[in-house]
Amino acid sequence: EVRRQLRPLEKQADAARRHGDLVGELAAVRRYLLGGELSAVEARLAAGGRERSELERAEAELRTALAGLDADILRAEAEIGASDAAEPAVDLAELVSRAEAGKARAAGLVAVLEERQRSVRRALTATTDQDVIAALEAEAAALTERMVGADEEAVRLLPLADELAEAEATLAEETEAVDAQWQLDDTRVTDPAAEVRGELAALRASLEQSGGEARRMDSRLESIQRRVTRLAAERDRLQGVVAATEAATLRLADDERAAAAAAAAAEAELEAASVDQRRADAGHHRWAAREEALAQGLDEARARAGAERLAGIGGVLGTLAELVEVDEGFEAAFEAAAGAVLAAVIVDGVGTARRGLQTLHHAAVPGAVVPVPDRSDPPTPHPSTAHLFNPDSGTLTQANPMRPEGAMWLRDRVRARLPSVGTLLDALLAGAAVVDGGWEAALDVAIARPELVVVTRSGDRLAGGLWQLRAGATGVTGAALEEARRQATASAAAAATAETRLQEARRQATDASAPRDAAARAVEANAARRRAAVDAQERVDAEWAEADSERAVTAAQRQELAGRFQREQARIAEMESLLPALEEKAEAEAERAAAARAARSRLAERTAAVAAIRRDLEVRAAGLEERRTMTANRLEEVEQRLRRHAAERDDAAARRQQLEQTVTVTQRLLGLVSTRQRELDELLDRLRQARRAQAEAAQARTERLEQLRRQRGTAERQLAEARERANRVELDHTEARVRLEALTETIRRDLDCEPEAIRGAECPPLPPGTSALSRRAELERELRLMGPINPLALEEHTALQERHQFLEAQLEDVRNARRELTKVIRAVDAEIVEVFRAAYADVAENFEGLFATLFPGGQGRLRLTDADHLLETGIEVEARPSGKNVRRLSLLSGGERSLTAMAFLFAVFRSRPSPFYLMDEVEAALDDVNLHRFLDLLHEFRTEAQLLVVSHQKRTMEAADCLYGVTMAPGGSSRVVSERVSVTAPS
């Protein structure tokens, strides 16, 4: 928690330190920047005053120039007015406009007349169509000739069509004759030789397959025979392995028992050494804690008495707790009797005491000093005398010298380490009596003897009317501290010796456990080899029987294959004898078929040629018919157009005469308009020249006036600019004055000084490549990002750091204690492991013996699932009744599972006996034989403990010493009946 508080507080302290540095640097940068800005503002005020005077002088000059320009403009405007009055009354601009409009109308008329002329000529040209008519007549004549040629070509094609029909008829007759002959030959053609060859090839392939199969069967028979031989040898070997493992079982069992005995002895020694080591560690820790507590108590007593402040003064002997030795058991009584003197500093005299008090007074430190009585003073009487010393007043009083009954003088139990302190003890403990009883007995003594200081061993103090319980209970003295140190040193040596003995015992236990584990592993390995050999033997027997059966079946199949092979060879010989005659007959039939195929091939060629001729003739006839149709259609169209043009020729002649007259009139109008257009062009040129001269004169006067006006405008703009600049200068001057006042206020507020103090301030050191402005922005940004800081963080961090160091020391003590506890936990775990290992070994051994008793000839054992981690391991039960190969307990019958569970239960009983055992119908699933075995087991245990069995089995009841039952009469309540029977041991 302190570390968690320290981290953010450390950050706050760093932030406070960083904040102070940033504030200091920012103040220096601000002084420099504000000083520079102050100088700049003052320079700006001076420059603004000078510029304002210059602008006032320029403004006066511009006003004078504007007055002169106004007079010149008035004179120019008067001249222009006079020239306008002297101009003629005719407006040349209007005349030019009228002339240009007439010229445009003339050009439009010329264009219209030219277009009209062109259209009339086109119409005149269109009326002459003699060339078109001649072309149509020529085309009609050509089409007529084409029609005649087409008819002649059609006549030439008729003989070719007749010849083609005759050739097709002849070819059809020849084809029918050849087909009839080939069909007759097909009814007689057969190929028995091919059938024989096919069957012969199939028989040969089957014969070859049979031979391959026969070879494979022979190879398989040899392999089976080798397997049978190998399995027989393996069976003999496994029988030898089983016999060898059975012979080694007894020897390995003896070795395991001897190794277990040696390991048990080593473990017993380890247990004793572990107990001694824990006892020695506990004693060492106890005395070390007492030593630390006593040392801390003495330090606190010295601090309270101011011993450290008085260490430099001569004559200081130390605190009273350091200078006395108290008998064991009387420490609290001495503290109660000594009171405040126990925490005081003992000095050698009054002078030393005076100097000590002065030192404590000047240092303002609380403390107490006690001077040792001077040797020249009369000796303080022993408590047997009549004087008593009051530690509060420091005076002696008369008292009864008799010792109270049931009490003893405390001075006899306290001894001084220095002779001079003995006198102080005599005075301090005079009349101090220790009562052995409690505070009640002490109270009785105090009432009877009020002059005594009565204390108890538990630290109760009753004296002077002040009765106080537990006035002293710390027992802190220098002698006690030295005794604690001696005991701590001795206990540390004893702990080291015990640790050495424990390590040696562990080594011996480890050395002894190795042979025991090796023997157990050897026994387990031998049993595993025997089980593996038995399993392998059973597997080999099954494989041998299977291989023998397979060999018999394969031999029968081989004999059947040999018979089929002989039959196929006889059939092949028969087919080979018939094949030559059949092949000769097949050759003759093949020659006749070849001749027929040749005749048909020739007919097919002739048929293809005739078909090609017919297709060509049909194409020519179709093309000729299409040409005649197209020619007739075109000829009809041309004749229609010729008949239509014959009626239009007369109308075209009259229209042509009218168009020729229109062309003549249009030509005359076009000449007249062209003449007038040329006259307008000449007039327009003269008017434009006069207008240009007039405009140039007016433009000269106007340009002079415009120039004067521009000059006046420029002067006005300059005057406005001068006035605007004057306003800006005035505004800048006012702003600079305001800025100067603001800077003065800022300097006085932020820097707490006058402007003269920072004028010319030097720039503080800046990082390379950084200006003062950017540095100020960076510092302000860092301060802004840092946000509010805790100004008290530095002091709080220092105090908390001291607290953290103190807690670190305390935490280290806790860590040491945790390490010690870890050692204890490891020792407890080791003890648990050893106890579990011993219990498991006993239960496993008893389980095997009981299982063999309950299952004669069977085997059962317990196995750890994780033998390397005994604190996390589980236990598996392996049960193999005689004659069964069971791999899971769920495959056992109900009775077998019950007997297996009872074997484990009684193995636990035998390993860790109990005065009595209670069982509830555990034999319900057992048959007579297994029940007899169960009763034998009960008889074996009945001499060791009391057995309570709930049962419905008659034989179980017969084996009991006493029977208890519950019965209920009709209509009544249940009651318990008991009967004691005499039991004879089962045979």
Q: Which of 875, 893, 973, 980 is nearest to 930 (CA)?
A: 893
The structure tokens 């000594």 sit at 338
Spatial neighbors of 105 by CB under 8 A, at least 6 apart, are none
**What is the C-alpha separation between 427 and 434, in angstroms, rounded?**
16
Report the pLDDT value the prediction gives residue 970, as an integer from 0 to 100: 80
Report the pLDDT value the prediction gives residue 708, as an integer from 0 to 100: 79
Report the pLDDT value the prediction gives residue 754, as an integer from 0 to 100: 82
Report the pLDDT value the prediction gives residue 606, as an integer from 0 to 100: 67
Task: Report how far apart, in Å, the C-alpha atoms of 517 and of each of 264, 526, 823, 829 are.
Answer: 12, 14, 26, 20
Report the pLDDT value the prediction gives residue 177, as an integer from 0 to 100: 72
**Regions of the chain with pLDDT less than 50:** 88-90, 128, 184-189, 377-401, 983, 985-987
For β-strands 875-880 and 859-864, DSSP reports them as antiparallel
Q: Which of 326, 347, 323 is nearest to 336 (CA)?
A: 326
Class of residue 982 by CB neighbours under 10 A (exposed 0-12, middle 13-18, buried 19+): exposed
Report the pLDDT value the prediction gives residue 597, as an integer from 0 to 100: 67
DSSP string of 493-560, one letter each residue: HHHHHHHHHHHHHHHHHHHHHHHHHHHHHHHHHHHHHHHHHHHHHHHHHHHHHHHHHHHHHHHHHHHH
The structure tokens 């008949």 sit at 643
Report the pLDDT value the prediction gives residue 394, as an integer from 0 to 100: 46
DSSP string of 704-739, one letter each residue: HHHHHHHHHHHHHHHHHHHHHHHHHHHHHHHHHHHH
Please give the DSSP secondary-structure letter assigned to residue 339: G
The structure tokens 């076009």 sit at 670
Report the pLDDT value the prediction gives residue 477, as an integer from 0 to 100: 58
* Contact status, residue 955 vs residue 935, Cβ threshold 8 Å: yes
Report the pLDDT value the prediction gives residue 887, as an integer from 0 to 100: 59
The C-alpha angle with vertex 625 and arms to 622 and 629, in degrees rounded to 5, equals 140
**What is the C-alpha separation between 129 and 653, in angstroms, rounded?**
11
Task: Report how far apart, in Å, the C-alpha atoms of 640 and of each of 436, 633, 644, 645 are.
Answer: 172, 11, 6, 9
Report the pLDDT value the prediction gives residue 598, as an integer from 0 to 100: 67
